[in-house]
Amino acid sequence: MSSILVRAAQADDIDTIHGFILALAEYERLAHEVKADRDMLGRYLFGPRPMAEVLIAEADGSAVGFALFFHNFSTFEGRPGLYLEDLFVLPEARGRGAGKALLARLAALAIDRDCARLEWSVLDWNEPSIAFYRALGARAMDEWTVQRVDGQALVRLAALPS
């Protein structure tokens, strides 16, 4: 079994990142919702004002997983946090420690950056991932539900008088 190397993604990783996003969307049965393309990812991940960061997990020199994350802020804590938007490991690489290595690096980044917490969402049907997260000490925030405004609802909301 090879060791897992976790590194910060670079601009020349765009094709790899895009491939992981497509594979994740397929796994989550959401491939029809992917709008991200390479140009868009390049602009928002590596442009003049990056909006998110990516870690790449490698085994034997090949990318086997990724984590895309960004900072949020807790008003109650008065400190930043890290929000893990997506974590994905190729099916053939699962069980080799890549997911754990990505989460461990995110936890270390959160501590280094004086973040109060590391948070993410998981689909309620994804029992293998839920069990994996519980084994690492994650807890469900069952009293909270995710709310979203997008598409035309977002446009209508933005047009309301302020």
- Catalytic residue positions? 133
Question: Whole-angstrom Cα distance, residue 56 to residue 90?
Answer: 12
Find how far residue 37's CA is from the centre of its chain.
17
- 3-class secondary structure, 61: coil
Q: Which stretches of the chain are assigned E, i.e. beta strand?
A: 4-8, 53-59, 62-74, 79-89, 118-120
Tokens of 1: 């079994």
Phi-psi region of 144 (alpha: psi -120 to 50; beta: other; left: phi over 0): beta
DSSP letter, residue 35: -
DSSP letter, residue 143: T
